[in-house]
Amino acid sequence: MLFGRRRPEPEITVQIPPDSADDALDSATESALFVKTDTVEFACSKHIGTREYQQDSVEVGTGADGVVFGVLCDGMGGLEDGELASRTAAQALAEALREMDPSCDIPAFLSSHAHSINKLIFELPSDVSKRGAAGTTLCAAVIVGDSLFWLSVGDSRIYIIRKQEILAVTREHSYSLDLEEQVRAGRITAEEAAEDPSREALISYIGMDELALIDCNRNPFLLESGDIVLLCSDGLYRSLGDADILEVLARHSGNISECARVLPLYAFDKAQGAQDNTSVIILWYRNENNDSSFDIKTTK
């Protein structure tokens, strides 16, 4: 069980078979990248959705002594600003991770670089001629041996999937956090919090004058063979629930390149109206040579 506890079964049911997305609008998907190391297979893809511009950026790669990483950014701001912010942030962290000494204090390394990249993005030239006009979310997963570390700023997500369980290990740095505090303090009701029109507004992101929130796991999460780490922009989880994601992984068991390609397409299929840019990175940890598929099964 993930984190030593069993989560409730997902309440969301799959309404559209994932295979229906296999060929739909595939011309809008940037080709999935697939790489394999001794212990990790990883793939990524992006879909533009109904937006005119693509503001998501992804980076995957390897570093010293078998380090594997994925970095995902979802840009915001002016049309050019958002794309520049996400691309610059993703490339900056990826470059640092390629050179990282795996024996270092990795959480401290990630936190330090989040601050330095935040300053870099805040000072970017802007198409509206002022600093701080652009921003981006930033999430990253780093695997060293069987240890997983993650970093999150903003509202992109990181999931860990083990057999039939899926768990989001990051939180959204949005005004909803403040609303939840107000509910716990009795100042507003849960219904009022749910209906607040500003609940999804970000309160921490890369590109702020002063970075407000950074989430890193201080202690490594120990991976088991077959575990999947999924990074995604909010375009995915605002359209797909936990059960939908598990369904795609089960349907394309053992083929993470196909999973990475289909997930954004399936999100597009299920979107109600406009669909945001959608990006995914999948890291599949395998320390046994006979692992040939995901140990994921779903029930209808």
pLDDT tens for 56-81 read: 999 999 999 999 999 999 998 765 68
d(CA 42, CA 206) in angstroms, rounded, equals 25
> Is residue 220 in some structural domain?
yes
Task: List the single range of 87-96, 184-193, 230-239, 288-297 with lowest mean pLDDT.
Answer: 288-297
Task: List the single range of 4-8, 26-30, 49-53, 128-132 with lowest mean pLDDT.
Answer: 4-8
> Is residue 251 in some structural domain?
yes
Domain count, the chain: 1
- DSSP secondary-structure letter at 19? G
> Is residue 214 in some structural domain?
yes
- Residue-level pLDDT at 255: 92
> Is residue 295 in some structural domain?
no
Instruction: CATH number of the domain at 24, please.
Output: 3.60.40.10
Boundaries of domain holding 225: 2-285
List the alpha helices (DSSP H) in 217-282.
Answer: 234-237, 242-251, 256-270
Distances (CA, A) of 196 to 176, 178, 191, 201: 9, 11, 9, 10
> Is residue 293 in some structural domain?
no
**Locus of tokens 């369980």:** 165
> Is residue 300 in some structural domain?
no
Q: Which has more pLDDT, 32 or 252?
A: 252
- Residue-level pLDDT at 127: 55
Give yes or no for a contact between 130 and 81, defined as CB atoms under 8 angstroms apart: no
> Is residue 157 in some structural domain?
yes
Give the model confidence (pLDDT) of 167-195 as tens digits.
999 999 988 888 888 889 888 889 988 88
> In the structure, what pLDDT confidence band is assigned to residue 246 with cuts at 50, 70 and 90?
very high
Give the model confidence (pLDDT) of 100-145 as tens digits.
999 999 999 999 999 999 999 999 876 544 565 789 999 999 999 9
Q: pTM of the entire structure?
A: 0.85
